[in-house]
Amino acid sequence: MKKIMMTMAAMFVAVCASAQVYIGGSAALGGQKHGDGDSKMYYKLMPEIGYQFNKTWDAGLSIGYAGVEDGNNAFVIAPYARYTFVNTKLVDLFLEGTMGYGHIGGNGADADIFEFGLKPGLKLNLSNHVSFVTKVGFFGYQKNDFTDTQKWGMDVDATNVTFGVNYKF
C-alpha cells in the first residue's frame, strides 16, 4: 500500500510540475432579434482562469456577464475541459466541453439559461506566454427560460463566437 501511495504521489507531482496556470478572457459582440421586435446589440465579457495539464488537456472556469442593450443582462458561469487535437508551435485546434449556467435579470426579467456541449476553437500562440483564442459555435443542448426555448444541435451565431487573449505563467 505504501508503494502505491508513493507512486501516486510521484505521478501527481510530475503532472503538476509540467502544468501551467493561465488567465485571460474573451468577448463577443453582435446583434440579436426576438420575434418581430427591433434588433438589439448583444455583448458578452467572460474572464477566465485555467490550468494546462499538458499539451493536450486544459481545465478552466469562465465567469462573466452578458447582456442585450434593452437592459436584460445575465451573470454567466461556465466550467470547461479542453482537448487539443492539433498542436503545433503556432496554432492549436481544440474542442472545449462545457456546462454553463446563467441568470437573466433586469427590466423585470428573472430567468435561467443552461447549456452543455462542445465549442470548437483555435488558439494562436503569439509567444510562450501569450495566446489569441477564438471559439466558433456550439454543439449541444441549450435551454433559455427567458425566451422559453430549448434546442439541440449546432448553433453558430454572434452569441457563440468569442475572441480572447490568455496569458500563461
| pLDDT in the model for residue 159 | 67
pLDDT at 6: 67
pLDDT at site 5: 61
Cell numbers 430567468 correspond to what residue?
A: 111
- Domains recognised in the chain with CATH numbers: 20-168 (2.40.160.20)
In single-letter form, the type of residue at position 38 comes to D
Question: What pLDDT is stored for residue 51 in this prediction?
Answer: 96
46: CB partners within 8 A, 6+ apart: 25, 26, 27, 62, 63, 64, 65, 76, 78, 162, 164
pLDDT at residue 65, rounded to an integer? 92
What whole-number distance in Å separates Cα of residue 71 and Cα of residue 138? 25
Give the pLDDT score at 9: 61
pLDDT at position 125 is 95
Q: Which portions of the chain are predicted below pLDDT 70? A: 1-19, 32-34, 158-159
Number of C-beta neighbours around residue 15 at 10 A: 12
pLDDT tens-digit readout, 133-169: 999 999 999 998 988 889 999 887 766 788 999 999 8
